[in-house]
């Protein structure tokens, strides 16, 4: 083919020098030797005639593609590496100190751990101390009904171990679910008056796994400032937007709910929850559930009620806050509770609609990835629930003992007052505001005083414990901790039916005298320190 036949179409070629024309002819001649070159030339010629700018853009893209393919590899991270000698590297390694996973033990915590009593044998109403062999009254256990020493329950637990073994060794979703688990779930659901129930293997992990299963990033949770540590961990894991309201203040709760609703107007709908406790672990008082249900209906929120400390304790048959305050349990969207306290078992539960329960079987981490509750504990839970329903006298006896204990402590002591609800078997005693102000006591001073009260009560033959402060949130600074709600330091006195009324009154006097002895002692006789 004559390559010069294409040149007349380009008017600029006439003004080119002969050497350039010869070079063009040579390039055209060599190009036409390539198979398919004629098709490419026809495309270029028609494209140039119809839209010359398009040809320039295509040429640019071809050149860019060729350059990109032939360019050497390079890193997109502009990092200036500073060369180090071996000696400098060794010095840096020696100076580096890894950050601790937990905060270090304070001097006060170390002393408390060293002075803490060690028990031998079962933790019944009376326990024996290791070393001295002294027997003391145990008011530091949640064994409120003394079910841990019930012979029938022990016999049934032993029989369950012989039938099912010690543990299922598998998550419930594989082969960990056994018929006793299904029976326990049905028994608890029927007891509460809820459609369905799910059992978890750990009480702490129940609500801290259930919350993230329903509330995600972008959802809104309105929570009481006094919520316990497992709830706070669940809120943290959920990564939801958390709004706090003042403890048990329904007016402040309504203000927060109205603000959330107003801020959400015109935006995509999100899930909204109110999270609170029945009996508050850190304060001991009772939630205003009727008002809470009223606000839930008014502002279209869902209620998640943690009854870890109220289930098995409040109500005529131990159904909890709903029975105690005569509230329809179906008005509470999710009821969470623990089986490791008054029911002398282990694990926790969530009772709700069937859809909510079945969702957790696939979405709650503690249920999906943890071994199922041992069969003996599932059986024990069913049996203790049945005992409370069949014999409400257990609950009446406990309340009589609570009244006897409170009579020895709150009205008779000039140093402490009880913040717990009158039917709460865990009495939380805090120093009166007058003494805190007169002696200018800090939180650390109050904790030290109450620890001395614990030690003095043990000398009087009564074992009690102290309300521990919650760990600081991850990454919280000192400024954040000043804003963070913290429970007041207090003593925890746990009442049990395993002691007679006379023994309860004697133990109460021992605790009261211990507090008086510490507060009048020389160590804390200072004002305005």
How far apart are the C-alpha atoms of 348 and 383, rounded to whole Å? 15
Average pLDDT for 122-150: 92
Measured over all CA atoms, what is the biggest interatomic distance in the chain, rounded to whole angstroms?
Answer: 126
Burial 119-142 (b: 16+ CB within 10 A, else e): beeeebbbbeeeeeeeebbbbbbb
Euclidean distance between the first and final Cα of the chain, in Å?
110
Q: What is the pLDDT of residues 395-420, one digit of tens each?
A: 999 999 999 999 999 888 999 999 99
Provide the pLDDT for residue 377: 96
8 Å CB contact between 283 and 487? yes
Domains of the chain: 107-138+393-520 (3.90.1150.10), 151-390 (3.40.640.10)
Provide the pLDDT for residue 453: 95
Average pLDDT for 353-372: 95
Instruction: Check whether 56 has a pLDDT greater than 80.
Output: no
How far apart are the C-alpha atoms of 45 and 10, rounded to whole Å? 10
Provide the pLDDT for residue 469: 78
Average pLDDT for 62-91: 80
Burial 68-85 (b: 16+ CB within 10 A, else e): eeeeeeeeeeeeeeeeee
Q: What is the pLDDT of residues 168-178, one digit of tens each?
A: 889 998 889 99
Other beta carbons within 10 Å of 396: 12
User: Coil, strand, or helix at residue 430?
Assistant: strand
Average pLDDT for 145-165: 94
Provide the pLDDT for residue 477: 54
How far apart are the C-alpha atoms of 272 and 223, rounded to whole Å? 11
- pTM of the predicted model, to two decimals? 0.79
User: Coil, strand, or helix at residue 221?
Assistant: strand
What are the tokens at 143?
């064994």
Place 492 in a pLDDT band, splitting at 50, 70 and 90.
Answer: very high
Q: Quick one: which of 162, 136, 309 has its CA closest to 229?
A: 309
For residue 219, CA distances in Å to 119, 151, 262, 271, 515 come to 46, 48, 15, 5, 46
The count of residues in the chain is 529
What are the tokens at 433?
């505001």
Place 2 in a pLDDT band, splitting at 50, 70 and 90.
Answer: very low
Place 527 in a pLDDT band, splitting at 50, 70 and 90.
Answer: very low
Q: Which run of H or of E encompasses 168?
A: none
Q: Which residues contact 100 (CB under 8 A, 6 or more apart)?
A: none
Average pLDDT for 479-505: 87
- The strand order across the sheet containing 416-418 reads 416-418, 426-431, 490-494, 465-467
Place 8 in a pLDDT band, splitting at 50, 70 and 90.
Answer: very low
Provide the pLDDT for residue 4: 43
8 Å CB contact between 464 and 507? no
Q: Which run of H or of E encompasses 126?
A: strand 126-129
How far apart are the C-alpha atoms of 326 and 430, rounded to whole Å? 30
Place 203 in a pLDDT band, splitting at 50, 70 and 90.
Answer: very high
Instruction: Check whether 317 has a pLDDT greater than 90.
Output: yes
Q: What is the mean pLDDT of the chain?
A: 88
Instruction: Check whether 1 has a pLDDT greater than 80.
Output: no
Mean pLDDT check: name the lowest of 222-226, 262-266, 461-465, 494-498: 262-266
Place 164 in a pLDDT band, splitting at 50, 70 and 90.
Answer: very high
Q: Of 20-24, 78-82, 180-184, where does the model show the most confidence?
A: 180-184
Beta bridge partner(s), residue 224: 245
Q: What is the pLDDT of residues 229-284, one digit of tens each?
A: 999 999 999 999 999 999 999 999 999 999 999 999 988 889 999 999 999 999 99
């Amino acid at each position: 083919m004559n390559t010069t036949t294409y040149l007349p179409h380009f008017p600029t070629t006439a003004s080119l020098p002969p050497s350039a024309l010869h070079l063009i002819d040579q390039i055209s001649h060599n190009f036409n030797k390539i198979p398919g070159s004629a098709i490419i030339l026809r495309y270029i010629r028609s494209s140039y005639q119809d839209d010359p700018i398009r040809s320039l853009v295509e040429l640019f893209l071809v050149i860019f593609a060729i350059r990109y393919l032939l360019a050497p590899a390079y890193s997109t991270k502009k990092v200036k590496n500073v060369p180090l000698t071996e000696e400098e590297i060794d010095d840096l390694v020696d100076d580096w100190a890894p950050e601790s996973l937990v905060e270090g033990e304070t001097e006060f915590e170390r002393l408390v751990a060293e002075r803490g009593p060690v028990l031998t044998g079962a933790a019944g109403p009376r326990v024996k101390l290791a070393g001295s062999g002294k027997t003391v009254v145990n008011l530091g256990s949640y064994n409120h009904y003394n079910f841990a020493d019930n012979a029938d329950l022990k016999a049934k637990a032993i029989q369950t171990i012989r039938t099912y073994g010690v543990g299922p060794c598998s998550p419930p979703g594989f082969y960990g679910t056994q018929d006793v688990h299904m029976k326990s779930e049905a028994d608890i659901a029927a007891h509460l008056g809820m459609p369905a129930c799910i059992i978890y293997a750990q009480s702490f992990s129940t609500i801290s796994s259930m919350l993230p299963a329903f509330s995600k990033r972008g959802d809104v949770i309105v929570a009481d400032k006094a919520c316990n540590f497992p709830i706070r961990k669940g809120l943290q894991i959920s990564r939801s937007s958390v709004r706090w309201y003042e403890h048990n203040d329904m007016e402040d709760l309504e203000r927060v709910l109205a603000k959330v609703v107003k801020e959400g107007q015109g935006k995509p709908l999100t899930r909204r929850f109110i999270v609170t406790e029945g009996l508050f672990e850190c304060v001991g008082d009772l939630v205003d559930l009727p008002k809470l249900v009223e606000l839930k209906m008014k502002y279209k929120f869902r209620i998640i009620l943690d009854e870890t400390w109220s289930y098995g304790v409040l109500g005529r048959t131990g159904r909890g806050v709903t029975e105690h305050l005569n509230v329809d349990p179906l008005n509470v969207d999710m009821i969470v509770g623990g089986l490791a306290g008054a029911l002398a078992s282990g694990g926790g539960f969530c009772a709700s609609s069937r859809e909510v329960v079945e969702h957790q079987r696939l979405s709650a981490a503690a249920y999906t990835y943890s071994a199922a509750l041992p069969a003996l504990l599932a059986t024990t839970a069913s049996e203790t629930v049945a005992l409370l329903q069949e014999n409400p006298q257990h609950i009446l006896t406990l309340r009589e003992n609570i009244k006897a204990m409170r009579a020895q402590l709150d009205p008779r002591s000039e140093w402490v007052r009880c913040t717990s609800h009158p039917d709460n078997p865990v009495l939380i005693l805090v120093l009166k505001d007058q003494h805190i102000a007169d002696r200018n006591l800090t939180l650390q001073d109050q904790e030290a005083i109450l620890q001395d009260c614990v030690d003095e009560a043990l000398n009087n033959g009564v074992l009690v414990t102290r309300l521990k402060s919650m760990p600081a949130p991850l990454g919280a600074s000192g400024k954040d901790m000043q804003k963070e709600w913290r429970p007041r330091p207090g003593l925890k006195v746990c009442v049990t039916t395993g002691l007679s009324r006379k023994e309860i009154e004697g133990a109460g006097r021992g605790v009261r005298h211990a507090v008086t002895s510490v507060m009048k002692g020389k160590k804390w006789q200072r004002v305005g320190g």
